[in-house]
Structure 1
Amino acid sequence: MPPFFMNKRLIVLLISIIILVALIGFSLNDRSRLSWPEQFIKDTVGWFQSVFHQPAQYAAGFFENITEIKNTFEENKLLKARLDEYVELHAKVLELENENNRLRATLDKKESLRTYELMQATVIARNPEYWHELIFLNKGEQQGVKKNMAVITSEGMIGKVKQVSQFTSTVQLLSAVDRTNRISVIVKGNENVFGLIEGYDEEKQALLFKRIPFDVEINLEEKQTVITSGLGGVFPRGLVIGEIIEVVPDEHGLTQMAYVKPSADFYDIDHVMIVERVSTAPEQELTESVEGGA
Structure 2
Amino acid sequence: MKIGKKKGKVLNILYIFIILMVVAFFAKDVFNYTMTGIEEVLLPLQSKIYFLGKKAKESTESVINYKELINENNKLKYTIAEKSLVEQKNQRLLEENDRLRELLDMKDRFKFKFKVGKISFQQTREMFESFAINIGEIEGIKKNMPVLYNESLIGKVEKVFKNYSVVQMITFQDSVVSANAGENTVGIVKGNRSDELIFEPVSFHEAQLKVGDKVYTSGISDIYPKDLYIGEICEVRKKYEDNVEYLVKLPFNITDMNEIIVLTEVDR
TM-score, normalized by the shorter chain, greater than 0.5: yes
Query: Who is 1:185 aligned against?
Result: 179
Query: Who is 2:125 aligned against?
Result: 129
2:166 to 160, 166, 170: 170
- 1:131, distance to aligned residue in structure 2 (A): 2.0
Which protein is richer in helix relative to its size? Answer: 2
For the Cα contact (< 8 Å) 2:129–2:193, is it kept in 1? no
Question: How far apart are the structure 1 equivalents of 2:109 and 2:203?
Answer: 31
- 1:120, distance to aligned residue in structure 2 (A): 0.1
Matched position secondary structure for 1:267: helix
1:180-219 paired onto structure 2 within 5 Å: 181-189=175-183, 192-200=184-192, 202=194, 205-216=195-206, 219=208
1:98 to 89, 95, 99: 95
1:272 aligns to 2:264 (yes or no) = no
| Residue type at the aligned position of 1:151 | V
Give per-residue Cα distances to partners, 1:211-258, cap 9 Å, x unaligned. 341343x621111111112221432222111110123455586x6531
Alignment RMSD: 2.9
1:1-294 paired onto structure 2 within 5 Å: 78-113=75-110, 115-154=111-150, 156-178=152-174, 181-189=175-183, 192-200=184-192, 202=194, 205-216=195-206, 219-248=208-237, 256-279=244-267, 281=268
| Residue type at the aligned position of 1:145 | I
Matched position secondary structure for 1:175: coil
Matched position secondary structure for 1:195: strand
Question: How far apart are the structure 1 equivalents of 2:204 and 2:68?
Answer: 81
Question: How far apart are the structure 1 equivalents of 2:115 and 2:263?
Answer: 7
| Residue type at the aligned position of 1:184 | S
Provide the TM-score with structure 2 as the length reference: 0.67
| Residue type at the aligned position of 1:182 | V
Identical aligned residues as a percent: 29
| Residue type at the aligned position of 1:120 | V
Matched position secondary structure for 2:232: strand
- 1:206, distance to aligned residue in structure 2 (A): 1.0
Question: How far apart are the structure 2 equivalents of 1:199 and 1:78?
Answer: 51
| Residue type at the aligned position of 1:158 | I
**Structure 1 residue ranges without an equivalent (≥5):** 1-61, 282-294
Q: Count matched residues.
A: 207
Query: Who is 1:290 aligned against?
Result: none
Structure 1 residues 137 and 201, CA gap change in structure 2 (3 angstroms): closer
